[in-house]
Structure 1
Amino acid sequence: MKIALDAMGGDFAPKAVVQGALLASKEVSKDTTLVLVGQEEAIRAEFTEGIPANVEIVDAPQVIGMAEHPTKALSQKPQSSISIGYQLLKNKEVDAFCSAGNTGAMLVGAIFSVQVISGVLRPTIISHVPKLDGSYGIILDVGANTDCKPEVLAQFGEIGAMYCQHVFKTDTPKVALLSLGEEEQKGNLHTQAAHQLLKKNERLNFVGNIEGRDLFNESADVIVCDGYVGNVVIKMAESYYEILKKQQYSNPFFDNFNYEVIGGSPVLGINGNVVIAHGVSNDKAICSAIMLSERLTQAELYQKIQHSLKEQNN
């Protein structure tokens, strides 16, 4: 297995990325190789004690800045670390690609390189949600699609359920729709219509609507919402950890809200394994993003989504 890593992506690249790769090189499976993509000279300069045997470097002389327009940057910088990373993924030279760089460029690159799985209405970004019992659920979408039709929300339920089944090994994940009331007639028009579609789907263990107060208990494994709501939710959740940290309070549950623990957000619904890490990622977060990429690859998740949708359309 090979995992490509954008060495130039993030506020603290390439130093934090290289240090994160060094941490991960000691934790990944014996057959896993890490491929650092970026300006080779700058990357090598960060390896003060030599390059591990399971780390490779692929030169990419150009860099896409965090504030650059995604589509323009990708077309104008074909030799950027993100562009070359996606080329490697598209050509099956690597099995996964992760970056803490320009989120928009990562999304656009995914759609136009490895492309969307046939039958997927919209690719989605997910985030892990800590639960009070120590386990994790997921919430989707968290930023890729701010406005979603009912059919898209309903499909998010299916894609999310497959993630929990194959990555978390949850046999029959509970799927819920995030709304402003538990009753099925509550919510906006799209939420109400999505509820009916999810309710009729016999492939899902749909448990109905949940409210914001149920996010972190055992009510659901998969929480479905549009990207606008999802992004607000996860940013608020991240603030819990930061507030408690400033108050010098530590708690095992709230410590799981630290972005370093998971490392990144997988992009689902595309023909490849892609993880987008936080722009402020440090070495621990980068290491976690790499480990998550390895788990996605081992689970063969996107291939199983492909197979499931193909069966449904036959």
Structure 2
Amino acid sequence: MKIALDAMGGDFAPEAAVAGAVLAAEQLAGKATIVLIGQEDAVRPFLQQHGAAAASLEFVPASQVIDMGEHPAKAFQQKQDSSIAVGYKMLLAGEVEAFCSAGNTGAMLVGAVFTVKNVPGVMRPAIANFLPKLHGGFGILMDVGANAECKPEMLEQFGELGSLYAQYVLGIAQPKVGLLNIGEEEGKGTPVIHAAHQLLKVNPHIQFVGNIEGRDLFNDKTDVVVCDGFTGNIVLKMAESIYDIMDEKSLHEPFFDMFNYETVGGSPILGINDNAIIGHGRSTPRAISNMLMQGYNMADSGIVDQIKATFKS
């Protein structure tokens, strides 16, 4: 198995990307090979710094970089030899089983939709993120930014996608799905939320437990929390701030340490025909390493095949 990494993506690339790839390669020895994609003059010196530890890494040149501030669709179209575009071409060709990047989030989404494309039947792919649970492990929150406004049918599909990921990647046998709302009562919320509730309630592919409130995000009431990308992104950034504040005050506790974005490393794009993960722009080597491990776990689980089979039926 091969897992590709955009070596030019992130605020500290390519140094952090190479260091993170070395860490992941140690953990994946005998299981998978890490493939770095980027500008050779920028990446090679850091590979040389790591010496023998980087010997197992493969390298594929890409002459261009999509910067964080560029327009995603325009940049992806015009920079076909960028590290992101080359990564998606390799994914489409089956040369790698997963592609990870801490680069331009919009370009990663554009590349996913226009290169490997949506699973047939999926209206819009979504970005998933992970919710630490008080009694251990993680739940799934989606969408966290790909779709700021959603139709009820999209929210229903997010419930299905999140449930499949929780089952096949996180190992939760019967994931509980909840709809994030301003109250637990069925009649609460906007017309879109009302309609989504009715669809989720009768969906045979999921175990729907009804509406949940913000106070239920981190308890065991649900394993999958469904919301639009606008709401989900606010929740995600708020959760990240909890760790940042506690770290600033030198307060550390195992549960709250799980709010550190480095712990999981990235957010999978669910609903596309292959495995792609978006990392945090300020990813450290630890975050990069965990993102690559997540890519391996996704590919190893066969989650995309499970999604295809579900939406085909």
- For the criterion TM > 0.5, the same-fold answer is yes
Aligned-residue offset at 1:40: 1.4
SS of 2:290's equivalent? helix
Determine the structure 2 residue equivalent to 1:81: 83
Instruction: Output one character per residue of 1:239-276: Cα deviation in whole Å (capped at 9) or x when no partner.
Output: 00000011110011000000000000000000110000
What is the letter of the counterpart of residue 191 of structure 2?
L
Equivalent in the alignment of 2:117:
115
After TM superposition, what 4+ stretches of structure 1 lie above 4 angstroms from structure 2?
A: none
Out of 132, 157, 167, the residue aligned to residue 155 of structure 1 is: 157
User: Which residue does the alignment assign to 1:18?
Assistant: 18
Paired amino acid for 1:248? S
Aligned ranges 1:1-314 → 2 under 5 Å:
1-47=1-47, 48-50=49-51, 52-311=54-313
Residues of 2 paired with 1:154 and 1:293: CA distance?
A: 25
Q: Percent identity?
A: 55
Q: Read off the aligned partner of 2:127 and give its amino acid letter.
A: I
Shift of 1:29: 4.6
1:202 positional shift:
2.4
Letter in structure 2 aligned against 1:92 = G
Deviation per residue, 1:116-160 (Å, 9 max, x gap): 110001100000000000121000000000000111101111111
Give SS of 1:236's match. helix
Report deviation, 1:203: 2.3
In 1, the alpha carbon distance for the partners of 2:221 and 2:239 equals 17
Q: Within 1, Cα distance between the matches of 2:56 and 2:187?
A: 54
Counterpart secondary structure, 2:116: coil
Distance in 1 (CA, whole Å) between partners of 2:50 and 2:119 is 42
| Cα deviation 1:261-302 (Å, max 9, x = unaligned) | 000000000011000000000100000000000000001111
Q: State the Cα distance separating 1:42 from its structure 2 match.
A: 1.4
Structure 2: which amino acid aligns with 1:277? G
Amino acid aligned to 2:126: T
- Residue identity matched to 2:43: I
1:26 is paired with a residue whose SS is helix
In structure 1, what residue type is equivalent to 2:211?
A: N
What root-mean-square deviation, in Å, do the aligned CA atoms of Structure 1 and Structure 2 show? 0.8
Alpha carbons 1:71, 1:108 under 8 Å: kept: yes
Letter in 1 for 2:271: G
TM-score (norm 1): 0.98
2:284 and 2:185 mapped to 1: Cα distance?
A: 42
Amino acid in structure 2 at the alignment position of 1:85: G
Mapped contact 1:118–1:309 kept (Cα < 8 A):
yes
Residue identity matched to 1:50 = G
SS at match of 1:127: strand
Counterpart-to-counterpart distance in 2, 1:146 and 1:310: 26
Q: 1:50: how far off? A: 2.1
How far did residue 49 of structure 1 move? 3.5
The CA distance in 2 between the partners of 1:310 and 1:202, in whole Å, is: 14
Cα distance in 2, alignment partners of residues 308 and 220 from structure 1 = 21
Please tell me whether the aligned partners of residues 32 and 54 of structure 1 are also in contact (alpha carbons under 8 angstroms). no
Count of residues in Structure 1 that have an aligned counterpart in Structure 2: 311
CA distance in 2, matches of 1:31, 1:217: 34
The 1-side partners of 2:204 and 2:124 are apart by 21
Could you tell me which runs of 5 or more consecutive residues in structure 1 were left unpaired when the two chains were aligned: none
